[in-house]
Structure 1
Amino acid sequence: MQRCIPRASLALGLALVAAVASFVIVPGVSSASPGDAAPQCESHDLTVPSSVIEGQVVPLPGARLLAGGGDFTIHGSLCLPSGGTPKTVMLALHGITYSNSYWNSEYQPETYNFSRHMTDAGYAVFAIDRLGYGQSSKPPAALVTLDSQAEVAHQVISQLRSGTVGGTAFEHVILVGHSYGTATSWRETATYNDADAVIGTGWANTLQTLLVARFFAGFVPAQLDKRFADRPVGYLTPGPGGREQNYLYDLSNVDPKMIKYDAEVLQDTVTAAEGATFYNRYGAVPVTYVPTTSEELEIPLSAQAKDIKIPTFMINGANELFFCGIDQNHCASSQKLQTEEAKYFSDAACFRAAVIPNAGHDLNLQRNAPDTYAVVVTYANQMLGPDGGNKGSYRASCGAISGTDVDSGQATFGAIEE
């Protein structure tokens, strides 16, 4: 049968009508904020130039005027190991409708707090509220795009290396993304390749477009939720009735209290322009009818990944609905995911992949989140290490497990024993 791509941009493409509004600059704070749950954490507000909005693939006339002048503030939580400051920091980028709290859960942090697990392993973590989220600046929605998010990430990497964040000039930076945060890190890396490695979760090079459209169908203007009443026009949030939990979790392996915490504490917004530019930049919307015999439609994203020249790692849940292919067949195993995805990268990416059993899209919120964290640490240690000592050796030995000729992945990232 034939299926036409539904109006996925109906909710997402509202960027075209995003109105002019002033953005909010959040004053600097020195004490921990509610999202900063891990030990040894401090809040930092960075200043990034408003010129980040000018790096659009499709120029936005009058963007500077829309921004209202001045710079933007990016809020983040810097968490350090108890033993001191390492040479390696992870820059964590959350997905849509979240903030840095996705990485810094206060609900059962011993299980769900990413920053705590990484600092226990010896790494520093700087988890930011991306532009338009949490305590960061809220420009007009039309300016908060995939392009501007990538430019902000580039600015933050530079400041981590220069010592602006916490007074430490980190020698090594690992980009860690979740969902749209991974899209942001890939776009930034394809342009600059200025981090040492990129770890993406909840993302891949194929997309189940119909499922994404269904997920966004229930989104409403953020102003209808009293928590986000001050957001400019064009900001969206999940509507009443929850966060479309069937799309985000493996419901057989999630704490109902976490679902409640997610909806009541972690939930944030998204701009229509982020959705519109994601589809636009990744070429994910066909221009004609597409025949398929499947209930869903699997569409390859752009060739942008070929421009990534630093070590790249992908982690998905076995029951990831959006990015694991038809019937989740790409995520049948770590080796299968690596085989399916390696063809999109060049050898320079030293591409690796892992699948987490009994997990969905929001890996940090599943009961087995520590399994995900253990895989992240294993990869980070092999590729770099808290002191960066493995960087050269990993690059020298990764040729056998990268590129288009991959038949199977390393046993290290095979199935995780329950």
Structure 2
Amino acid sequence: MASNMAWGRLILILQFLLLSASTAAQNCRSVTLTASINTTAATINTTPPATQEALTDFLQQTTSPTLNFPTVLITGSTPLVKKYSISGKLCLPTGKSTGTLLFATHGLSFDHTYWEAGGPSSKFNFAASANAAGNAIFYYDRLGIGASAKPDGIKEVQSPVQVEVAHSLVTSIRAGALHQAFSKIIGVGHALGSVTTVGIAAKYPTDFDDIILTGFAGGDNVGILISLGAFGATIASQALKNANTPSNSYFAVGSFIDFQQGFLKYPFFDAATTNTIFNTRGTVTIGELTTLAIPASAPATDFTGRVLVVTGNNDHFFCAGNCAETVNGVTLPNVAAGLFPAASDFKSIVPLNTGHAINLHQSAPATFAAIQSWIAA
């Protein structure tokens, strides 16, 4: 009990310091990097849905717990050798640095702005909290999102391909692509970004020194099926004014009600911030949905760094709204420890009154402080 009270006091102190320092602690610039890919992509036996009704039918089949529809669609693999332009942002702390870079990958329905929600002085701005703690951060639009390349949404924009894109970026950064040297790189993910980070740890175990997985847990796939079923999936060109997508293989969450259902816990989110994020939301592809879980389907047996899982107690995607649920006596965020048998340390944090998009909830400042404290430990 005493150690928990001491931890709580430390978090309150850090929360105050990070909030007071966040406004003037950043030096940010936009960055465009090239991701060079030499891999194989899944051969998916489908075509872009011709109509909204066809897309809805695809989601119905994909979210059935018994059809196993995505697996049926994958009929083999195809070589994929490409170069993609990836848009991101590098934010450095002003006047102080630990030499640590956080490499942050967003999840479904977001773009890079998830990591800077609310703007420079916002308490929901994760990047500002990282800089205030003395850490640099690089965050980017995943392949198919925002200002990054938007290739074929079935043949190329797939979940395992996102792993290869991120690996290429990390390799370039370690080689000096950001014109800045870092003694440590920590992978940070949210949701699908966490799945991507797990995939990197499994396939490229030396890319990251440590990893932080937010909006992530293990042991219960029901929440993913429920949340995707309630996604209100709408063809991107119909849902977004400036979608600029190559085909109907790209789709987006349909309405704010659908967004709230999967990502937010009422009334513990800020309406203005969440509406801004929703109005600039990212897209999802048929290829990503079909290959969604592949990167996290096997343990990262050779990853030896530290692992932190941070998941809201009311996360709908990974816990079906209840992260206190247990599997064989282990809570769902801690079930994820099984993916990292060689990790030097594993810890989980479960903020209360918090849904899937942890950065958008009132608990964010305390959550950010806990993350930065863990990084510094």
Q: What range describes the TM-score normalised by the shorter chain of this pair?
A: 0.7 to 0.9
Q: How does 1:53-68 map to 2 (within 5 A)?
A: 54-56=39-41, 60-61=77-78, 63=80
How much does 1:277 deviate?
0.4
Among 213, 219, 223, the residue aligned to 2:228: 213
Question: Does structure 2 retain, via aligned residues, the 8 Å contact 1:315–1:354?
Answer: yes
Q: Secondary structure at the match of 1:199?
A: strand
Code of the aligned partner of 2:199: R
C-alpha displacement of 1:125 = 0.3
The 1:48–1:241 alpha-carbon spacing in structure 2 relative to 1, beyond 3 Å, is closer
TM-fit CA distance, 1:156: 1.2
Compared with structure 1, are the counterparts of its residues 330 and 309 closer, same or farther at alpha carbon in structure 2 (3 Å cutoff)? farther
Letter in structure 1 aligned against 2:26: P
Deviation of 1:201 (Å): 0.4
* 2:354 partner amino acid: A
How far apart, CA to CA, are the structure 2 residues paired with 1:336 and 1:220? Answer: 34
Q: Say whether residues 1:185 and 2:197 are aligned partners.
A: yes
| Match in the other structure for 2:21 | none
Q: Structure 2 stretches of 5 or more lacking a match? A: 1-23, 44-75
Question: Can you give the 5+ residue segments of structure 1 that lack an aligned partner in the other structure?
Answer: 1-36, 283-300, 383-418
> What is the root-mean-square deviation of aligned Cα atoms in Å?
2.5
What residue identity is the alignment partner of 1:81?
P
1:363 and 2:358 matched: yes
**Match in the other structure for 1:297:** none
1:157–1:62 distance in 2 versus 1, CA, 3 Å: closer
Q: 1:38, 1:115 within 8 Å by CA — same for their partners in 2?
A: no
Contact 2:152 2:246 survives alignment (8 Å): yes
Q: Residues 141 and 273 of structure 1 are in contact (CA less than 8 Å); yes or no, is this contact kept in structure 2?
A: yes
Q: C-alpha separation between the residues in 2 aligned to 1:339 and 1:84?
A: 34
Q: Which residue of structure 2 lines up, in the alignment, with residue 147 of structure 1?
A: 160
Quote the residue 2:64 is aligned against.
none
Cα shift at 1:347 = 3.6
1:41 paired residue among 20, 24, 28: 28
Q: CA deviation at 1:368?
A: 1.7
AA aligned opposite 2:175: S
**Match for 1:129 among 141, 155, 159?**
141
AA in 1 matched with 2:234: V
Q: Which residue in the other structure is 1:9 paired with?
A: none
User: Does structure 2 conserve the Cα–Cα contact (< 8 Å) formed by 1:43 and 1:78?
Assistant: yes
Q: Which amino acid aligns with 1:41?
A: C
Q: In the alignment, what sits opposite 2:125? A: 113
Among 235, 245, 248, the alignment partner of 2:250 is 235
Deviation at 1:331, TM superposition (A): 8.1
> Which stretch of structure 1 is more off in the superposition, 173-182 or 139-148?
139-148
SS at match of 2:292: helix
Give the superposition deviation at 1:339.
Answer: 4.7
SS at match of 1:61: strand
- Looking at structure 2, the residues matched to 226 and 322 of structure 1 have their Cα atoms a distance apart, in angstroms, of 23
In 2, Cα distance between equivalents of 1:47 and 1:360: 34
Matched, 1:304 2:299: yes
Alpha-carbon shift at residue 248 of structure 1 (Å): 0.8
**Distance between the aligned counterparts of 2:356 and 2:25, measured in 1?**
23
Report the alpha carbon displacement of residue 181 of structure 1 after superposing the two structures with TM: 0.3
Higher strand share: 2
Give yes or no for the alignment of 1:273 onto 2:258: no
Alignment of 1:16-415 (within 5 A): 39-49=26-36, 51-52=37-38, 54-56=39-41, 60-61=77-78, 63=80, 71-107=83-119, 109-142=121-154, 143-165=156-178, 167-193=179-205, 194-206=207-219, 207-208=221-222, 209-216=224-231, 218-233=232-247, 234-240=249-255, 242-265=257-280, 267-279=281-293, 281=294, 302-324=297-319, 327-330=322-325, 336=331, 339-382=334-377
Residues 199, 278 of structure 1: CA spacing in aligned structure 2 closer, same or farther, 3 A cutoff? same
Contact kept? 2:100, 2:182, Cα under 8 Å: yes
User: Is the 8 Å Cα contact of residues 121 and 377 (structure 1) preserved in structure 2?
Assistant: yes
Would the aligned equivalents of 1:44 and 1:78 in 2 still touch at CA under 8 Å? yes
Query: 2:256 and 2:363 mapped to 1: Cα distance?
Result: 25
Change (3 A) 1:136 1:38: farther
Q: Give 1:180 shift.
A: 0.4
Q: Which amino acid aligns with 2:288?
A: E
Task: Give the deviation of 1:254 after TM superposition.
Answer: 1.0
2:16 is aligned to none
Number of equivalent positions: 315
2:299 match: secondary structure = helix
